[in-house]
Amino acid sequence: MKVVNCFEHRPVISFEIFPPRAKASEKATNRFYASLDTLASLEPAYISVTYGAGGSNDHASTLALCRYIKVHYGIGAVAHIPAVAFNAQSLKTYLADLKQAHVENVLALRGDLPADGRPNNDFPFASDLVAAIKRESDLNILGACYPDVHPEAENCVVDVQHLKEKVDAGASQLISQLFFENEHYFSFLERCELAGIKVPIQAGIMSVINERQIAKMATIGGVELPPKFLKMMHHYQDNKIAMRDAGIAYAVDQIVDLLSEGVDGIHLYTMDNPVVTQRICSAIKTLI
Ligand code: FAD
């Protein structure tokens, strides 16, 4: 199933998950699959599976998990592909593997640059990867976008111009980086409209529930943490349960506002956490 067809019925609610690490213990792997059972039971429109972004670092596990999601739950799966991990030849092989596994969707990304800052020769930008996948396959291609502006971009206008190149190269839908200030998202949508980007765009939302995640947020360049969010997290920092509940409430509040503005969809960064995702989904169930 090509997940771009989900947008016939809006808003689209989908999930991102991390595959378990290659060296995960049997217990951790079993826990992961139990979590996945719960996530799948929430009936997302599709599930996207990361590659090398804090989870497993080999494309075999991303591919195997996509196949599992499709076969075991009958849910559309999206395999993330970071350009930095491929060259023209290995991409061809991987696309053939995806075809054989009947995975029909990919999220084409550049990936994080190595320490020397040098981009991949074959695919310096995600739009180059999108163009290559388009040439070599009939996969549905998704792309990433940045409401708070990508940290390497010259400015917000140039960033959206590059996004338009990615769409023109063949990306049929976009998923945004997580953000905590809805007004930034609405301004970003206006810039997209002005640039002539007409594909569906889903808002990426993550419920931040502990201090470890706040520290992680600070390392993701270009994600702005608004004062009201920081104040809330500071206020509850000594109470783990309250902090979790406040994080969930903040995410639900964002989603309610986004849905009432008529956004195309929400992509939940689940962090493989079924309890938090379940609570968010149950809070917004009647709004979809
Ligand atoms: P690009 O679209 O190439 O943009 C990167 C920068 O280059 C931007 O500043 C853009 O404005 C600029 N640019 C684009 N084209 C040009 C051009 N022609 N000339 C000059 N500048 C240009 N990373 C992983 O490693 N694995 C994952 O699984 C993963 N999943 C992600 C999922 C989502 C939804 C998001 C939002 C990000 C994910 N990432 C993942 C992180 C992503 O790889 C990084 O954010 C990376 O820094 C940029 O990737 P991109 O695909 O947006 O790059």
Mean pLDDT of the 58-76 span = 94
Cβ-in-10-Å burial (0-12, 13-18, 19+) of 217 comes to: middle
Mean pLDDT of the 82-86 span = 94
What does CATH list as the number for 3-284? 3.20.20.220
Q: How far is the CA of 228 from the centre of ligand 1 (A)?
A: 28
What's the rounded Cα separation, in Å, for the pair 257 and 266? 11
* pLDDT score of 59: 79
Mean pLDDT of the 29-44 span = 98
Please tell me if the CB atom of residue 79 comes closer than 6 angstroms to any atom of ligand 1.
no
Please tell me if the CB atom of residue 162 comes closer than 6 angstroms to any atom of ligand 1.
yes
* pLDDT score of 196: 98
Which atom of ligand 1 is the closest one to the Cα of 267?
34
Mean pLDDT of the 216-236 span = 88
In this structure, of 30-34, 54-58, 66-70, 218-222, the range with the lowest mean pLDDT score is: 54-58
Please tell me if the CB atom of residue 59 comes closer than 6 angstroms to any atom of ligand 1.
no
Q: Indicate the pLDDT class of residue 55, thresholds 50, 70 and 90.
A: low
Please tell me if the CB atom of residue 3 comes closer than 6 angstroms to any atom of ligand 1.
no
Asked whether the predicted pLDDT for residue 53 surpasses 80, the reply is no
pLDDT, mean over the chain: 94
Domain boundaries along the sequence of the chain: 3-284
Q: Indicate the pLDDT class of residue 215, thresholds 50, 70 and 90.
A: confident
**Which residue, by CA, sits nearest to atom 42 of ligand 1?**
111
Q: How far is the CA of 16 from the centre of ligand 1 (A)?
A: 16
Please tell me if the CB atom of residue 85 comes closer than 6 angstroms to any atom of ligand 1.
no
DSSP track, 172-237: -EEEEEE-S-HHHHHHHHHHHHHTT--S-EEEEE----SHHHHHHHHHSTT----HHHHHHHHHTT
Q: Indicate the pLDDT class of residue 93, thresholds 50, 70 and 90.
A: very high
Asked whether the predicted pLDDT for residue 218 surpasses 80, the reply is no
Asked whether the predicted pLDDT for residue 12 surpasses 90, the reply is yes
Q: How far is the CA of 267 from the centre of ligand 1 (A)?
A: 17
**Residue 210 structure tokens:** 């502990």
pLDDT digits (tens, 9 = 90+) for 241-277: 999 999 999 999 999 999 999 999 999 999 999 999 9
* pLDDT score of 75: 98
Q: How far is the CA of 283 from the centre of ligand 1 (A)?
A: 31
Q: Which residues touch 244 (CB under 8 Å, ≥6 apart)?
A: 209, 210, 276
* pLDDT score of 57: 63
In this structure, of 45-54, 90-99, 192-201, 248-257, the range with the lowest mean pLDDT score is: 45-54
What's the rounded Cα separation, in Å, for the pair 157 and 274? 37
Q: Which residues touch 47 (CB under 8 Å, ≥6 apart)?
A: 14, 15, 16, 17, 39, 40, 69, 75, 76, 77, 78
**Residue 95 structure tokens:** 């696309």
Active-site positions read 16
Q: Indicate the pLDDT class of residue 143, thresholds 50, 70 and 90.
A: very high
Mean pLDDT of the 87-109 span = 97
pLDDT digits (tens, 9 = 90+) for 168-203: 999 999 999 999 999 999 999 999 999 999 999 999
Q: Is ipTM over 0.95?
A: yes
